[in-house]
């Protein structure tokens, strides 16, 4: 199974992998249901059998029809349904708790139908996440890996990522004032954050990806995975330390180029501060 991606739906983690497979056990628990309850339905059996047949596999419908007649309260019946579903290639099972990736996983072609059985709004949300994951998977391998490692399929809930101490350090070397964002902040804060934070931790292809998908009002850091957030936090701290140790803005720029030589040759791009910070 590919790397697991955790995405929050109404503040509860839902698990996908980078190819769009979906942890049905984890999702069903939120709605007090189980994947088995859906897998043993006749419509599901017919759909799953048809999918398998399209892939050149055996017609499993006769076997499904026999199994779903069994007592669904017994574990033997449940195991038979799950084992047959796994044979189709559209269902996987992994031991362990959902927190560790365990549970029943469904192929993207099954995931939306299953999610619709749980809840319509949830199904629409799942469709959006799977579509984003699959699109990201179609990028060239190196870019695809970076996007998957750094970016979520959709923005997470806003949390403060840039501490006030960061802005106070920027105010010191730019001879401006930081007023807790009351009335806005100096545009140069956004310029510095863009060039010395985001453009250092993100390749240009990743930056383009998030800018193309980001909605008005969303901050770039809301799109970062846990790994991306760690990189962001480390870079913010580095820039704050450099700013506090610099005598003025020119000294700060010189020190930044020394610390991050990969920035040489970048075009200076002034962007609105609110796109990046807090």
pLDDT, one tens digit for every residue, the chain (278 residues): 566 788 888 888 899 887 889 999 999 999 999 998 888 787 887 888 888 778 777 667 677 667 666 665 666 766 777 777 787 888 888 888 877 788 999 999 899 999 999 999 999 999 988 888 777 665 555 667 778 888 888 888 888 899 999 999 999 999 998 887 777 788 999 999 999 999 999 888 888 888 888 888 889 999 998 888 999 999 999 999 999 999 999 999 999 998 888 776 553 333 333 444 44
SS3 string, 50-109, reads HHHHHCCCCCCHHHHHHHCCCCCCCHHHHHHHHHHHHHCCCEEEECCCHHHCCEEEECHH
Question: What are the residues facing 106 on neighbouring strands?
Answer: 22, 91
Chain-centre distance for alpha carbon 31: 22
Q: How many CB atoms lie within 10 A of CB 241?
A: 13
- Nearest-Å Rg of the Cα atoms of the chain is 24
Angle at 27 (CA atoms; ends 21, 28), nearest 5 degrees? 120
Sheet hosting strand 91-94, strand order edge to edge: 4-9, 12-17, 22-23, 103-106, 91-94
Question: What are the residues facing 164 on neighbouring strands?
Answer: none
Q: Which helix (H) or strand (E) holds 16?
A: strand 12-17
């Amino acid at each position: 199974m590919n790397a697991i991606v955790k995405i929050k739906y109404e503040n509860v983690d839902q698990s996908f992998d980078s190819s769009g497979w979906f942890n049905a056990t984890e999702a069903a628990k939120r709605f007090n249901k189980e994947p088995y309850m859906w897998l043993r339905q006749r419509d599901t059996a017919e759909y799953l059998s048809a999918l398998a047949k399209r892939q050149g596999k055996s017609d499993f419908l006769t076997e499904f029809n026999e199994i779903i007649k069994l007592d669904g309260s017994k574990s033997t019946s449940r195991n038979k349904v799950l084992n047959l579903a796994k044979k189709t290639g559209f269902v996987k099972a992994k031991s362990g708790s959902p927190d560790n990736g365990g549970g029943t996983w469904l192929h993207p072609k099954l995931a939306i139908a299953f999610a619709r059985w749980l809840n319509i709004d949830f199904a629409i949300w799942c469709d959006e996440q799977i579509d984003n994951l699959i699109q990201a998977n179609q990028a060239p391998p190196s870019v695809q890996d970076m996007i998957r490692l750094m970016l979520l399929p959709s923005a997470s809930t806003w949390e403060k990522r840039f501490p006030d101490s960061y802005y106070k350090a920027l105010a010191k070397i730019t001879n401006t004032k930081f007023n807790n964002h009351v009335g806005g902040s100096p545009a140069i804060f956004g310029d510095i954050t863009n060039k010395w934070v985001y453009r250092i931790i993100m390749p240009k292809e990743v930056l383009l990806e998030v800018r193309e998908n980001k909605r008005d009002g969303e901050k770039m850091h809301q799109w970062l995975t846990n790994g991306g957030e760690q990189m962001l936090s480390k870079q913010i701290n580095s820039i704050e330390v450099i700013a506090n140790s610099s005598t003025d803005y020119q000294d700060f720029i010189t020190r930044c180029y020394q610390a991050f030589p990969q920035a040489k040759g970048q075009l200076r791009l002034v962007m609105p501060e609110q796109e990046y910070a807090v």
